[in-house]
Amino acid sequence: MLKGLLLRPALPGVALFTVAVAAVLGIIALSHLSPPFGGGRAEAATVTVRVGDSWFCDPTGPQPCTQPHDTTVSVGDTVVWEWGAGGGGTAIIHTTTHCADNFSTCGGPREWDSSPAKTSGTFSWIVGSEDAGMTFLYRCQVHTLTMQGRIIVQGPATPTPTPTPASVGGIADFPDVDGPVVGATGSSDGSSFPYAALAGSVAAGGLALAVGAWYARKLWLG
């Protein structure tokens, strides 16, 4: 009986210590997780190049413009060439034809070619992930010397390094769990969220509470 009375005052301290350990484990684990929503890729855009009589230009800029005309795009964007405003038409026929080598010979293999030549309508090409960081030359096959352009695809964004969190309360840092996790469920924007790591952290906290409760009960019953 005396032993039990002496140990009972220590039980609240044991319980608080157990809860504190579980809370610290949970905070450290959550600090390493990526949010399930937001931070996704920017939406793909539609980039328009106007086809005029003897030029390729930005629809919002001066027309005619200096050739070759440069257009900067990102992976996933759709490039649309329009013959006249909104595809309403030009006076003479034109094409937009990719040149795999240079403007002079304009050999293949080609990424796109709107041939046969026409005077109205539109033509589109989607920028693929394999095109990142590349520059594509193109010209009109009817006006090879005067109608030329370049599609410049921006390279992949450089990821921002994640700072290593300092140890909390003398507990060693957990390994970094950022990035895709096997078996994890993706978020609505396609980014991965490590639910498996979160479940493991919760399980570890629950185990710590269970052990603390078992130990406290053992001390209480003596």
Cis before 194 (ω within 30): no
Q: Which residue type occupies 109?
A: P
- Give the contacts of 143 (CB within 8 A, at least 6 positions apart): 54, 94
Rg over CA atoms, the chain: 32
pLDDT reported for residue 161: 72
Q: In sequence order, what are the beta bridge partners of 122?
A: 82
Residue found by looking up tokens 């996933």 in the block:
76
With 0-12 / 13-18 / 19 or more C-beta atoms within 10 angstroms meaning exposed / middle / buried, residue 177 is middle
Query: pLDDT by residue for the chain (222 residues), tens digit each?
Result: 444 444 454 445 545 455 455 555 555 554 544 444 444 456 899 999 999 999 999 999 999 999 999 999 999 999 999 999 999 999 999 999 999 999 999 999 999 999 999 999 999 999 999 999 999 999 999 999 999 999 999 987 666 677 766 655 555 454 554 554 444 444 444 444 455 555 555 566 666 666 566 665 666 565
Quote the CA–CA distance of 50 and 85 in Å, as a whole number: 7
pLDDT reported for residue 156: 78
Q: Which residue type occupies 1?
A: M
pLDDT reported for residue 144: 97
pLDDT reported for residue 27: 52
pLDDT reported for residue 51: 98
pLDDT reported for residue 43: 85
- CA nearest to 149, candidates 47, 76, 45: 47
Q: Which helix (H) or strand (E) holds 201?
A: helix 195-221
Q: Which residue ranges make up each domain of the chain?
A: 1-34+194-222, 46-153
CATH 2.60.40.420 assigned to 46-153? yes
Q: Which helix (H) or strand (E) holds 212?
A: helix 195-221
pLDDT reported for residue 95: 98
